[in-house]
Structure 1
Amino acid sequence: MLELCVIFGGQSPEHEISRKSVTSVLNNLNKDKYNISTIGITKNGAWYLYTGDYAKIESGEWEQDTENKKKAILSPDAEDKAIIVFDGDKVMKIHPDVIFPVLHGEFGEDGTIQGLFELSGIPYVGMGVMASANGMDKTSSKIVFASADIPQADWVVVNKTDNFEDKMDEIENKLGYPCFVKPARTGSSVGVGKAHDRKELKAALENAAQFDRKILVEENIDGHEVECAVLGNEDVKAATVGEIMPTVEFYDFDAKYNDNSTELKIPADLPKETIEQIREYAVRAFKALDGSGLSRVDFFVKHSDGSVVLNEINTLPGFTNISMYPKLWGAVGIEYSELLDKLIELAEKRVK
């Protein structure tokens, strides 16, 4: 059996989403194929081997289950390739064949933990260090995608230390209203706001600055919100395209994870040539980042002329039971458990 280490939690504002995602992952992994060890990272950054009931993870109860958790660290020693577990006066080691990080946001999909995996010498699911870092930073990925000739919304970068009044003048002149304000390095729509006037813009900038020192402001694109799932290393495949049909003005954190009225339409009700264009752009964006493993790539299809505009890439997309990524692959015949198998195989095969 393959020794698989699944890591969840983390220090980012998306900690709770990781707990939702990993619960679905753990419940769908083939227990006949994998000997699974589970590492939980608290919001304070403490690492524990957790051997208790998976049902306690989503709620966070696992942290109080002291009988089933032990302090642990991932060793950077590439000869050892081990997770070191501390059990009282005893020290034990687990030697994973593959690490599956089910982590979202800061310290999870921004290249930091991927660097630790690289040092350890243990294969891992998902993108490498640079691809993760550039994919997480929306301002960096804008530059990468522009070089790949992929259409995007126009944007302005604001730093926390900038004079907001001057920057708001620039935003009004270049982008107009409404516009979207996003922390540069969060996911799951954490800290994102939509501004219809200068007062709302200032409030949105101040809110985003609580999550990141760098802020991305984008023009509003009036269009369908659609998403495409990508899978592969050198041989990259795109699934079909799904459309988000939220019941709120924009698809924010609550709409993604707490609002059961949000509908996902798979496949999206779009012309065949538009779906193919989205799939091609999704693969192109993935390759431009030097991607590996998986990504979900988000787009707008303009109401005015049907043209496609790239929104952003998600290098470790949500894996909850209502998440778009597994649903898109399910729509083309790859069920959840098989998808997890493929991701683990890709981790083993990834070329350095």
Structure 2
Amino acid sequence: LGLPYVGAGVAASAVGMDKALMKALFRQAGLPTAEFVVISKARWQREPQAVEAEIRERLGLPCFVKPANLGSSVGISKVKVWGDLPRALAEAFRYDHKALVERAVAGREIEVAVLGNHDPIASPPGEVVPHREFYDYRAKYLEEGTRLVAPVALPTALERQLQEMAIAAFRAIDCAGMARVDFFLAGEEPVVNEINTIPGFTPISMYPRLWEAAGLGYRELITRLIELGLERHRERQGRLYAPE
């Protein structure tokens, strides 16, 4: 349509939704992620014993089973005993033809906001403190009790490391405009969980709260995002898409 818009382009948006592709690009960029296995529904139906053996060998318990393409923690199960693995995979396959099975990381849930196009900047980190065992759909949308701490006090060197890793994740998928990068923090060892190319954006959501903590208010943040979208639009208009 040739219209300006805020946020990531088509490719980055697609990769940001597909956890398997996302994590492959993170690893290519040298970013640490939890160990994972990608399982297709067809393979699970064809050779369930081989799939379970691979998951046992590479991941162990506990592990998380997720639809590769979905958000808001829909379809995610935590597997603590092997007898629950078939049920968890069946739940994930209700939403996608492939599932991501990931080794559980015991640690804090840390989030960093990223803003920019070619020279992105990162906010101070915040922390999600869920009231349930993990930050699932119910904890996010249906129940009260989860706390968002923005910003969270961390050692200066660790905060800088998280910001650098967030920017590296942003660049790894060729993102633009805005994103929120989520981490697990085991001790002082951060692991990248995922990137959200359209993060929650109500005034009480983590993304704007982190920028407010950095001194950029909600109105100013929206203005800056519009400016970044217009900047990208001008760049696209100046490109050639065929020989002259």
TM-score (norm 1): 0.64
| Structure 2 match to 1:346 | 228
User: What one-letter code is carried by the residue in structure 1 that aligns with 2:181?
Assistant: V
Matches within 5 A, 1:1-352: 120-163=1-44, 164-303=48-187, 306-350=188-232, 351-352=235-236
Alpha-carbon separation, structure 2, partners of 1:289 and 1:126: 13
User: What one-letter code is carried by the residue in structure 2 that aligns with 1:189?
Assistant: S
User: What one-letter code is carried by the residue in structure 2 that aligns with 1:279?
Assistant: Q
Structure 2 spans left out of the alignment, 5+ residues: 237-244
User: What one-letter code is carried by the residue in structure 1 that aligns with 2:151?
Assistant: P
Contact 2:211 2:221 in 1 (8 A): yes
Secondary structure of 1:261 counterpart: coil
User: What one-letter code is carried by the residue in structure 2 that aligns with 1:129?
Assistant: V
Contact 2:203 2:218 in 1 (8 A): no
Give the Å deviation of 1:198: 1.3
Work out which structure has the larger RCO, using CA pairs closer than 8 Å and 6 or more positions apart in sequence: 2
Secondary structure of 2:115 counterpart: strand
Structure showing greater radius of gyration is: 1
Give the Å deviation of 1:205: 0.7
Alpha-carbon separation, structure 2, partners of 1:337 and 1:238: 18
What's the % identity of the aligned pairs? 49
Secondary structure of 1:240 counterpart: coil
Give the Å deviation of 1:321: 4.0
Secondary structure of 2:221 counterpart: helix
Q: For each residue in 1:286-330, what CA deviation from the matched residue of structure 2 results, as whole angstroms up to 9, or x when unmatched?
A: 011111000000001113xx2110000001111234321111111
Q: For each residue in 1:105-151, what CA deviation from the matched residue of structure 2 results, as whole angstroms up to 9, or x when unmatched?
A: xxxxxxxxxxxxxxx00011110111111111111011111111011
Larger fraction in helix:
2
Alpha-carbon separation, structure 2, partners of 1:342 and 1:192: 34
Alpha-carbon separation, structure 2, partners of 1:332 and 1:269: 13
Alpha-carbon separation, structure 2, partners of 1:227 and 1:153: 16
Alpha-carbon separation, structure 2, partners of 1:144 and 1:293: 19
Q: For each residue in 1:21-69, what CA deviation from the matched residue of structure 2 results, as whole angstroms up to 9, or x when unmatched?
A: xxxxxxxxxxxxxxxxxxxxxxxxxxxxxxxxxxxxxxxxxxxxxxxxx
Secondary structure of 2:230 counterpart: helix
Alpha-carbon separation, structure 1, partners of 2:142 and 2:153: 25
Alpha-carbon separation, structure 2, partners of 1:123 and 1:133: 19
User: What one-letter code is carried by the residue in structure 1 that aligns with 2:26?
Assistant: F
Contact 2:150 2:206 in 1 (8 A): no
User: What one-letter code is carried by the residue in structure 1 that aligns with 2:37?
Assistant: V
- Once superposed, which parts of structure 1, at least 4 consecutive aligned residues long, lie more than 6 Å away? none
Aligned residues: 231
Alpha-carbon separation, structure 2, partners of 1:343 and 1:274: 27
User: What one-letter code is carried by the residue in structure 2 that aligns with 1:228?
Assistant: V
Alpha-carbon separation, structure 1, partners of 2:141 and 2:169: 26
